[in-house]
Amino acid sequence: MDTPVCLIDTGSDGRLCVQESALQILQQIQEPVVVVSVVGLYRTGKSYLMNRLAGKQTGFALGSTIESTTKGIWMWCLSHPTKAGSTLVLLDTEGLGDVDKGDSKHDTKIFSLAVLLSSTLVLNSRGTIDNRAIEELHFIWAVRDFTLERKINGQDATEDEYLEFALKLKLGNSSQVNNFNLPRECIRKYFPSRKCFTIPFPTNPDNVSYLETLDPAEISKQFLEVTERFCQFIFDQSQVKYLKDGHTVTGRVLGHLVKTYVDTISTGAVPCLENAVIAMAKIENESAVKEGLEVYQSGMEKLKDSFPLELNEITFEHQSFSLMATQTFMKRSFRDHDGKYLTSLEEAINLQFDAYLWDNEKASEAKCECFMSVLSDPMKERINQGFYAKPGGYDLFCQDLEDIVNQYNNLACKEVKIAEVLEKFLQDKVSVATAILQADDKLTENERRIFEERERAVLLEQEIKAQEERQRQLEEKMATEQQNNEDRVRQVIERMEEEISRQQQETQRAMESKLREQSALMEKGFQEKSWLRL
């Protein structure tokens, strides 16, 4: 994207509305996404920070008046500068506390969406981290226009130490202490991984409104240094967004989350991650089945142009395309814990395979019948001319028939319908053979009976051959399905192991953060609260 687009618009009535054009952009992003959202009071320079993350001087509207420029939530999708194969999604939110809105609930909706959608949340504030700033939050924290010395008890402090000092809890159980501690406890509990940047004033106050057009020489070097450090930290430390079960969020999945959350909020309900994931799992899994089946059908339709094929050829290709279909399904599906959707895909593929086998058999049958028609035309002509209606005619007929069968078996040796078409041909010639046999005066009655028995034996043998061929083909088909099932089970196990590994990594990361928080609280005498953290 060359420029940002509006993802969630704020209507004149204050209602939030997802922009379909933005969702279409997200639908095209198949890569994992790193989502960075910025929230904070209006006219505090949020958009400038996001433009810096985008590597641009302009993009998100900065504005130059006291009015809030950004309305709703705007989105900018870019190739991630340091994480190959992923997309950086920047979300610039409408400023909180805009007097024109006069609706604190609207601020809550915007803030909630930013938290729910992001993998990294940037809280942009101005001045200092004071008690009011914390209480109004009920998070990397970027403190803008910071002018104080960072000292704690007379000692120089780092930016992170400054943040932790601002979040320090007070000992005691009075209502005043509890009110003081509550927002800080919430921040410490729900944002165990925290980072702070204190960003100095960028330039002469008269030039702040025109920051995006200023020459770098007119901007404070310290300001540029801190914002560069801020951007690098975001690029290096912000993680790909995952759902809680370890499923990677792509642009398409993010689009589903946006739509689900906004629709939920619009009804007045509280957005719930679990409900959103359940709703999205149904949409994604149904689409995964459709995509998998399309992959299978696309391959088999091209193969169909080569029908008829030997059974082992068509089953081999079926196996290959079926495996590709399952892989396609696996890439998109998630939370198919009971295998309902994978089973649906298997059943659809099996139905399609049966249809392709039928098409292949009909093509083979037509080809075999064509061979037989060409080979037997001379015999048909002789029969019509009465060539075999003479003494010794039955023997001539049998010789011609044997020649036709031998030539046919040579031509149609690789056809799946070779036996059945030959069986049908021999059955059709029974009445003709009987008539010729009875008309042959050269033969005795005993010889006629012997030949009749021989004909019945030949027909029975051919019928058995046709049945055996059908049984062989059925067994081959069943063996193929067994192999396909084993391949699917292997893919499911690999997928589960990957998800478990991701879940373990996320759990480990969260546990390490909580243990650090617990340790910090215990050091300060908050043993009871530290155990409640876990």
Hey, what are 43's tokens? 């006219």
Which pLDDT score, from 0 to 100, does residue 128 have?
Answer: 62
CB atoms within 10 A of CB 336: 21
Is the distance from CB of 32 to CB of 85 less than 8 angstroms? yes
- The pLDDT, as a whole number, for residue 73 is 92
Cis geometry, peptide bond prior to residue 202 (ω within 30 degrees of 0):
no
Helix or strand (DSSP H, E) at 66: none
For residue 178, the model assigns a pLDDT of: 83
Reported as a single tens digit per residue, the pLDDT across 401-451 is 999 999 999 999 989 999 989 989 999 988 898 888 888 878 777 877 887
Is the whole model's pTM more than 0.75, yes or no?
Answer: no
Q: Which long-range contacts (CB under 8 A, 24 or more apart) does 13-21 make?
A: 14/101, 14/103, 14/106, 15/266, 16/72, 16/109, 16/113, 16/262, 16/265, 16/266, 17/262, 18/258, 18/259, 18/262
Residue 182, pLDDT score = 80
Q: Which of 93, 95, 114, 100 is nearest to 44 (CA)?
A: 95
| CA gap 105, 16 in Å, rounded | 12
Q: CA 307 to CA 349: how far, in whole Å? A: 19
DSSP states along 259-275: HHHHHHHHTTPPP-HHH
Residue 38 tokens, joined: 């910025």
**Size (the chain), residues:** 534
The CA distances from residue 104 to 12, 66, 101, 133, 283, in Å, are: 16, 19, 8, 15, 33
Alpha-carbon distances, residue 178 vs 26, 75, 147, 169 (angstroms): 43, 38, 30, 9
**Could you tell me where the DSSP H helices lie in 192-310?**
221-237, 251-266, 273-304
How far apart are the C-alpha atoms of 138 and 249, rounded to whole Å? 27
The upper half-sphere exposure of residue 430, i.e. CA atoms within 13 Å in the direction of its Cβ, equals 15
| Low pLDDT (below 70) residues in the chain | 42-44, 62-70, 97-104, 127-138, 140-151, 203-215, 273, 506, 509-510, 513-514, 517, 520-534
Q: What is the CA radius of gyration of the chain?
A: 38
Distance of CA 276 to the CA centre of its chain: 16
The span from the CA of 348 to the CA of 366, in Å, is 27
pLDDT value of residue 490:
80
Q: Where are the alpha helices (DSSP H) in 118-242?
A: 131-135, 159-166, 175-190, 221-237
| Phi-psi label, residue 5: left if phi above 0, alpha if psi -120 to 50, beta otherwise | beta
Q: What are the φ/ψ torsions at residue 10 (nearest 5 degrees)?
A: -105, 115
